[in-house]
Structure 1
Amino acid sequence: MRRLESSRRTYDWGSTDDIPGFLGQPPDGEPVAEVWMGTHALAPSRVAGPDGPRSLRDVVGELPFMLKLLAAARPLSLQVHPGSDLARTGFDAEESDGVPLDAAHRVFKDPHPKPEMVLALTTFDTLVGFRPTAEILRILEALPVPLARELADQLRSAPGFAGIVDLVERLVTQPPTRAEVAEVVAACADAKAKGIDIKRAYLTAVEVEGHHPGDVGVVISLLLNRLTLQPGEAAYLATGIIHAHLRGMCLEVMVASDNVLRAGLTSKHLEPERLLRCLEGGMSRLARVEPQQFGQSTDVFSPGLREFALSITQSSPAEPHGAPLPDQGRRIVVCTGGTVELVNGQGEREVLTRGQAVYADASDGALLALGTGEVAQAYTPTAEDRATPLTDLV
Structure 2
Amino acid sequence: MYRLRNAVRDYDWGSRTQIPTFLGATPADGPVAEVWLGTHELSPSRTEAGAPLSEVAGPLPFMMKILAADRPLSLQVHPAAQLARAGYEAENAAGVPLDAPHRSYKDPRHKPEMVYALTTFDTLVGFRPTAEILRVLDPIGTAETTRLAEELRLKPGFDGIVRIVEQVLSQPPGPAEVAAITDRCRQLVGDHLDVKRAYATLLEIAEHFPSDPGLVISLMLNRLTLQPGEAAFLGAGIIHAHLRGMCIEVMTSSDNVLRAGLTAKHVEPDALVTCLERGMSRLARIAPEAVGTETEVFAPEVEEFALAVTQVAAADAAGTVLHGGGHRIVLCTGGAVVLVSAGGERAPLVRGDSVYVTPEETSVRVVGTGEVAVAFTPDHETSGRLIDLV
Normalised by the length of structure 1, the TM-score is 0.97
Q: Give the corresponding residue for 2:203.
A: 206
Q: Given that residues 238 and 279 in structure 2 are in contact (C-alpha distance below 8 angstroms), is that contact kept between their aligned partners in structure 1?
A: no
Corresponding letter in the other structure for 2:325: Q
Q: Give the corresponding residue for 2:360.
A: 363
Displacement after TM superposition at 1:275 (Å): 0.3
Tell me how far apart the structure 2 counterparts of residues 306 and 154 of structure 1 sit (CA, whole Å). Answer: 39
Q: Does 1:219 align with 2:203?
A: no
Q: Does 1:351 align with 2:373?
A: no
Q: Given that residues 339 and 372 in structure 1 are in contact (C-alpha distance below 8 angstroms), is that contact kept between their aligned partners in structure 2?
A: yes
Tell me how far apart the structure 2 counterparts of residues 282 and 23 of structure 1 sit (CA, whole Å). Answer: 37
Partner of residue 233 from structure 1, selected from 225, 230, 234? 230
Corresponding letter in the other structure for 1:21: T
SS at match of 2:207: helix
Q: Does 1:195 align with 2:195?
A: no
Tell me how far apart the structure 1 counterparts of residues 284 and 202 of structure 2 sit (CA, whole Å). Answer: 23
Corresponding letter in the other structure for 1:234: A
Partner of residue 119 from structure 1, selected from 104, 116, 121? 116
User: Once the two structures are superposed, what CA deviation does each residue of 1:321-343 show, in whole Å capped at 9, x if it has no partner?
Assistant: 11111123110000000001111
Q: Give the corresponding residue for 2:48.
A: 48
Q: Give the corresponding residue for 2:19.
A: 19
Q: Give the corresponding residue for 1:3.
A: 3
Q: Given that residues 326 and 366 in structure 1 are in contact (C-alpha distance below 8 angstroms), is that contact kept between their aligned partners in structure 2?
A: no
Q: Give the corresponding residue for 2:325.
A: 328
Tell me how far apart the structure 2 counterparts of residues 189 and 125 of structure 1 sit (CA, whole Å). Answer: 20
Tell me how far apart the structure 2 counterparts of residues 142 and 361 of structure 1 sit (CA, whole Å). Answer: 57
Q: Does 1:160 align with 2:161?
A: no
SS at match of 1:376: strand
Corresponding letter in the other structure for 1:28: A
Corresponding letter in the other structure for 1:24: G
Q: Given that residues 78 and 111 in structure 2 are in contact (C-alpha distance below 8 angstroms), is that contact kept between their aligned partners in structure 1?
A: yes
Q: Give the corresponding residue for 1:35.
A: 35
Q: Which ranges in structure 2 are unaligned for 5 or more consecutive residues?
A: none
Q: Give the corresponding residue for 2:84.
A: 87
Q: Percent identity?
A: 58
Tell me how far apart the structure 1 counterparts of residues 359 and 78 of structure 2 sit (CA, whole Å). Answer: 31
User: Once the two structures are superposed, what CA deviation does each residue of 1:145-184 show, in whole Å capped at 9, x if it has no partner?
Assistant: 1111111111111111111101100000111111110100
Corresponding letter in the other structure for 1:388: G
Q: Which ranges in structure 1 are unaligned for 5 or more consecutive residues?
A: none
Q: Does 1:145 align with 2:148?
A: no
Displacement after TM superposition at 1:28 (Å): 2.2
Normalised by the length of structure 2, the TM-score is 0.98
Q: Given that residues 241 and 285 in structure 1 are in contact (C-alpha distance below 8 angstroms), is that contact kept between their aligned partners in structure 2?
A: no
SS at match of 2:178: helix
SS at match of 1:85: helix
Q: Given that residues 20 and 27 in structure 2 are in contact (C-alpha distance below 8 angstroms), is that contact kept between their aligned partners in structure 1?
A: yes
Tell me how far apart the structure 1 counterparts of residues 281 and 206 of structure 2 sit (CA, whole Å). Answer: 25
Tell me how far apart the structure 2 counterparts of residues 68 and 139 of structure 1 sit (CA, whole Å). Answer: 34
Tell me how far apart the structure 1 counterparts of residues 263 and 247 of structure 2 sit (CA, whole Å). Answer: 20
Tell me how far apart the structure 2 counterparts of residues 2 and 20 of structure 1 sit (CA, whole Å). Answer: 22
Tell me how far apart the structure 2 counterparts of residues 72 and 12 of structure 1 sit (CA, whole Å). Answer: 9
Q: Does 1:392 align with 2:379?
A: no
Partner of residue 383 from structure 1, selected from 375, 380, 383? 380
Tell me how far apart the structure 2 counterparts of residues 388 and 148 of structure 1 sit (CA, whole Å). Answer: 38
Tell me how far apart the structure 2 counterparts of residues 96 and 367 of structure 1 sit (CA, whole Å). Answer: 46
Corresponding letter in the other structure for 1:339: A
Q: Which moved more, 1:100-109 or 1:317-326?
A: 317-326
User: Once the two structures are superposed, what CA deviation does each residue of 1:211-230 show, in whole Å capped at 9, x if it has no partner?
Assistant: 11100111110000001000
Tell me how far apart the structure 2 counterparts of residues 225 and 157 of structure 1 sit (CA, whole Å). Answer: 22
Displacement after TM superposition at 1:366 (Å): 1.6
Q: Given that residues 331 and 378 in structure 1 are in contact (C-alpha distance below 8 angstroms), is that contact kept between their aligned partners in structure 2?
A: yes
SS at match of 2:106: coil
SS at match of 2:219: helix
Q: Given that residues 313 and 370 in structure 2 are in contact (C-alpha distance below 8 angstroms), is that contact kept between their aligned partners in structure 1?
A: yes
User: Once the two structures are superposed, what CA deviation does each residue of 1:325-371 show, in whole Å capped at 9, x if it has no partner?
Assistant: 11231100000000011111211001001000000112222211111
Q: Given that residues 57 and 327 in structure 2 are in contact (C-alpha distance below 8 angstroms), is that contact kept between their aligned partners in structure 1?
A: no
Q: Give the corresponding residue for 2:66.
A: 69
* Residue correspondence of structure 1 range 188-337 to structure 2 within 5 A: 188-337=185-334
Tell me how far apart the structure 1 counterparts of residues 40 and 227 of structure 2 sit (CA, whole Å). Answer: 29
